[in-house]
Amino acid sequence: MKDRQDIAAQSARLENLLEARLGARRGSLAERTAKLGRTLPRSVRRDIATVAEAAQLSGHPKLSLRIDPDRVSKATRRAERHLRAVDPGYERRGRLLGMLAGLVVNLGLAFVLMLALLKWRGFL
């Protein structure tokens, strides 16, 4: 019984961190991780999957015997360490700068193509 409560608490802590740090608000722990995809490193995704599987198995009396509490707690600590290091403002700025860089490149290409067209048509 104690392990089941511990696993539920660990799962809830990871869900809160995913929501606060990366904005994943909907779904279970596994769904949130899948939605984030490559935003998270492979090792962190694997650790979160371990915790999500343990949370799912903890509801079943016989299957809960398959859970290794030490492995789950280590996976939780590693995932929490990574998620606490994530700066939401930095992530937001990075997305914004990436979007602006793409916009500048596209506008530059459109300008060059327009100049080439004007030159080809004899207006320049």
Note the pLDDT of residue 2: 66
If one compares 1 and 86, the residue with the highest pLDDT of the two is 86
Note the pLDDT of residue 112: 97
Note the pLDDT of residue 93: 93
Nearest to 48 by CA among 7, 16, 76, 18: 76
**17 falls in which pLDDT band (50, 70, 90)?**
very high
Nearest to 48 by CA among 2, 82, 21: 82
Note the pLDDT of residue 19: 93
Assess whether pLDDT exceeds 60 at residue 101.
yes
| Span 91-95, average pLDDT | 89
Spatial distance between the Cα atoms of 92 and 121, rounded to a whole number of angstroms: 44
Query: Which string of DSSP letters, residue by residue, matches 82-98?
Result: HHHH--HHHHHHHHHHH
pLDDT (tens digit per residue) in 29-79: 999 999 999 889 999 999 999 999 999 999 888 888 889 999 999 999 999
Assess whether pLDDT exceeds 80 at residue 16.
yes
In the chain, the amino acid numbered 87 is D
**115 falls in which pLDDT band (50, 70, 90)?**
very high
Assess whether pLDDT exceeds 80 at residue 1.
no
